[in-house]
């Protein structure tokens, strides 16, 4: 007769902070397929939370007029869509965003998000003024490459933009992973960045263990408790109605 005793606690999965690339993809599938989140819904949640993280790292009352100007650099994949949403919410929060989106996606979601930004009078740059970025903006948001996307996959304009962002003397905020980093090991390619702030989307990826900047936020309050337990996540508690938490 089988024992009625519960599982051996020693066999329970070890709780962890960081997800592998495969685990992050599986978590997203769980949200999309089992919990019936929509792709646009997830992008909106992540983009809004990313903007909130910017407000926590750089509170508006503490900034000069020039420091309120934010350059958001977007790629053609999902991270770029999150960046477009982030820019829109920064405008709502009374920052002054400008977008550089050199390789535009034909995906309908990207096109809709671009239209929303244009309708809100957020400027789009036709080229990246390399020599003027440090003087013209207070900070930059890196929404170019997400996990599993290599610089060569998004074309020359994005690759050149990343090379420019390596030279910044103003703060840099990376969304999900720093563009050019290997999502597993944290080793950086030729186009790797050194952000001051990292905003991990849903949960931190393994490469976040090598992040050494000033602020690390996780934007994962929308992840259901059952999913957190399934993936053995150990995430910080969220205060009040905050959608991000500091790690």
Phi and psi at 67, nearest 5°, equal -70, -15
Architecture per CATH, 7-246: 3-Layer(aba) Sandwich (3.40)
Q: What residues contact residue 198 under an 8 Å CB cut-off, 6+ apart?
A: 173, 174, 177, 178, 208, 211, 213, 215, 216, 217
Q: Domain coordinates of the chain in residue numbers? A: 7-246
CA 201 to chain centroid, in Å, comes to 6
Q: Which helix (H) or strand (E) holds 87?
A: helix 78-92
Dist. CA 218–CA 176, nearest whole Å: 9
Q: What is the pLDDT along the chain (247 residues), one digit of tens a residue?
A: 333 344 344 444 555 578 999 999 999 999 999 999 999 999 999 999 999 999 999 999 998 887 899 999 999 999 999 999 999 999 999 999 999 999 899 999 999 999 999 999 999 999 888 888 999 999 999 999 877 666 556 567 888 888 899 889 999 999 999 998 888 887 764 446 899 999 999 999 999 988 999 999 999 999 999 999 999 988 888 999 999 999 8
């Amino acid at each position: 007769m089988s024992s009625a005793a519960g599982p051996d606690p020693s066999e329970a999965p070890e709780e962890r902070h960081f997800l592998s690339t495969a685990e992050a993809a599986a978590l997203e599938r769980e949200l999309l397929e089992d919990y019936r989140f929509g792709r646009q819904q997830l992008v909106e949640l992540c983009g809004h939370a990313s903007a909130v993280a910017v407000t926590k790292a750089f509170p508006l009352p503490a900034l000069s007029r020039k420091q309120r100007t934010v350059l958001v650099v977007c790629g053609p994949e999902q991270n770029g869509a999150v960046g477009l949403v982030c820019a829109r919410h920064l405008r709502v929060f009374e920052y002054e965003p400008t977008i550089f989106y050199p390789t535009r996606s034909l995906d309908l979601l990207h096109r809709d998000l671009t239209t929303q930004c244009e309708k809100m009078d957020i400027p789009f740059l036709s080229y990246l003024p390399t020599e003027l970025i440090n003087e013209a903006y207070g900070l930059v948001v890196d929404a170019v490459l997400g996990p599993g996307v290599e610089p060569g996959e998004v074309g020359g304009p994005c690759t050149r933009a990343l090379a420019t962002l390596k030279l910044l003397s103003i703060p840099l905020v990376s969304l999900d992973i720093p563009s050019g980093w290997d999502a597993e090991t944290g080793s950086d390619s030729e186009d790797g960045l050194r952000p001051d702030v990292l905003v991990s989307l849903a949960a931190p990826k393994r490469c976040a263990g090598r992040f050494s900047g000033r602020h690390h936020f996780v934007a994962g309050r929308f992840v259901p408790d059952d999913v957190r337990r399934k993936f053995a996540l150990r995430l910080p508690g969220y205060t009040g109605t905050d959608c991000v938490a500091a790690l």
